[in-house]
Amino acid sequence: MKATSRLFTSLNKQRIFIPVQKIERHCNVLAQTENTVVLNSQIHVPKSKNSEAETSPSVMVMLHGVFGNCRNFSALAKRIARQCGIDVHCLDLRNHGESPHTTDHSLSLMSNDVIRYLTNHIAPSSNCVMFGHSMGGQVAFETVFSHPHLFSAAIIEDASPFSVDSNLLPKDSDLNSPFAAIQVLKNIDLSEMQNQSLTSAKKQISQLLSNRVPSAAVQSFLLTNLVQDTQTKHIKWRCNIAALTKYIESFRSAQVLSDFTFEKYKQRISRPIDVPLLCVRGANSNYVRDCDVERMRELFADVSVSTLDAGHWVHSEKPLEFLNEVVTFLQKYQQE
C-alpha cells in the first residue's frame, strides 16, 4: 500500500487517468482472491484536494451498467472530481470494456472483483463512496451491503437491488430493453464483417438492431462495444456477448430470482446499515418502484431518494440536475 500511496500522491498534482493494470504491475499488490479478475479503470484526480478529506468522502468508485464501460462516466467523473475535490475511479466490470472476459458473470462475482480492486487501490483509511448505475447499481448495493465498514456513503442510479417476479421483467419483444438487444447481438456473426470498415460494420449491425432496438441513442450506446484492432483490423466486441447473454437470460431463472430478494437481504442483518444511501431514479423508468424504496429504508438507516424527469439513463438525460443531486449529497457529509 505504501507504493500505491506514493503513486497516488504524485498523481494528485495533475488531473489524469491511468489504466489500473499498470498500477498493479508497478505496485505488485495483486490480491490472491479466488475467482476474481483484475479490473481496468480510469482514475480522475482533481487539481486540488478536498481540505476536509480526513473526515469527508475522499474517493468515489463508479460502476457502469450492462453493455457499458468506464468511459460512460468520464464527463460526470471529471465534474465530480473538480467540484468535490475527490479522486474518482471509474471501473470496467468483468466482461466489459478492457477488463478480462470470463465464462461466469454474476452480481456476486462482480462484487468480489470490486472488493479486490478496493483492496489493491483504495487506502483503508479513505472515506469511499460507492456509485453504480443499473447493473452497476446492483453490484454497488451488494458490495456496500456486504462490506459496510469500507464505505462512507453510496449512490444508486435507477437500479433496484431486489429480484422481481419474472412476469415483471421486460420481455424479449419489449423495444430497446437489454432483453431485446441481446436477442440480436448474440446472433451476429462478425466473421462475415472482417473485410469491412468499422463504420460499415456498425451501419450493418444498426440495421439488424432497428426492429428490436429502434432508439438511435440506444443503438449508438450498444455499438460503442464494437471495436477494430488498429494493427490487424480485426473487428470484435469489446464486451463478452456470450457471457452477457447467459447473464441477462438468467434473470428469468428461479435461482437468480431467489438469491437477491428483500427477505434474503433482511436475514443478513440484525439492524439497518449505517451507510447513507442516495437513490436517484428516472420518473419515466420502471426500474425502481416505490416498494423498492421502502425496502431499502428497512435495510439502510439513512436513505434519500430523488426522482428526475428522465428515463433509465438519468445521468445522460439530465446531466446537470443529476450532478447537482450527487454533489449536494456528498457536500452534506463533508459539512457534518
pLDDT of residue 172: 56
**Set of cell numbers at residue 161:** 437491488
- pLDDT for 43: 97
Q: How many domains does the structure of the chain reveal?
A: 2
DSSP 31-95: ---TT--PPPEEEE--SS--TTTTTS--EEEEE--TT--GGGGHHHHHHHHHHH--EEEEE--TT
Pairwise CA distance, residues 324 & 155, whole Å: 13
With a cut of 90, say whether residue 120 has pLDDT above it. yes
Question: Final residue of a domain: which of 225, 250, 275?
Answer: 250
Question: Could you say which DSSP state residue 133 is in?
Answer: E
Mean pLDDT of the region 38-50: 88
The span from the CA of 184 to the CA of 207, in Å, is 11
Q: What is the spatial distance between Cα 212 and Cα 140, in angstroms, rounded to a whole number?
A: 29
Longest dimension (CA), the chain: 60
Q: Quick: pLDDT tens for 184-232.
A: 999 999 999 998 999 999 999 999 999 999 999 999 999 999 999 989 9
pLDDT, position 51 = 55
Do 54 and 202 reside in the same domain of the chain? no
Question: What is the per-residue pLDDT for 55?
Answer: 45
Kindly state whether residues 106 and 204 are assigned to the same domain: no
Residue type, 208: L
Same domain, 56 and 186: no
What's this model's pTM, rounded to 2 decimal places?
0.86
pLDDT tens sequence across 238-288: 999 999 999 988 876 656 657 788 999 999 999 999 999 999 999 998 889
Q: Are residues 145 and 208 in the same domain?
A: no
- pLDDT attached to residue 58: 84
Q: Which pLDDT score is estimated for 13?
A: 36
Q: Is residue 54 domain-shared with residue 158, that is, in the same domain?
A: yes
* CA 1 to the chain's CA centroid: 25
Last residue of a domain, one of 216, 250, 284: 250
Please say which residue of 250, 274, 296 terminates a domain: 250
The answer to whether the beta carbons of residues 30 and 24 sit under 8 Å apart is yes
Kindly state the cell numbers that stand for 122. 483504495
Domain shared by 174 and 151, yes or no: no
Q: Are residues 117 and 237 in the same domain?
A: no
Bigger pLDDT: 53 or 63? 63
Same domain, 85 and 152: yes
Q: How confident is the model at residue 180 (pLDDT cuts 50, 70, 90)?
A: confident
What pLDDT was estimated at residue 178?
A: 85
Higher pLDDT pick, 169 / 282 = 282
Q: 50 lies in which domain range?
A: 2-165+259-335
Comparison of pLDDT for 287 and 92, the residue scoring more = 92
CA distance 35 to 102: 10
Q: Are residues 270 and 242 in the same domain?
A: no
Whether residues 85 and 140 share a domain: the answer is: yes
Rounded percentage of the chain residues whose pLDDT exceeds 70: 80
d(CA 131, CA 60): 7
Q: Based on the domain organization, do 57 and 147 belong to the same domain?
A: yes
Q: What average pLDDT does the structure give for the chain?
A: 85
Torsion angles phi and psi, residue 11, rounded to 5: -75, -30
DSSP assignment letter at 163: -
Q: Are 128 and 224 found together in one domain?
A: no
> Which CATH number characterizes residue 61's domain?
3.40.50.1820
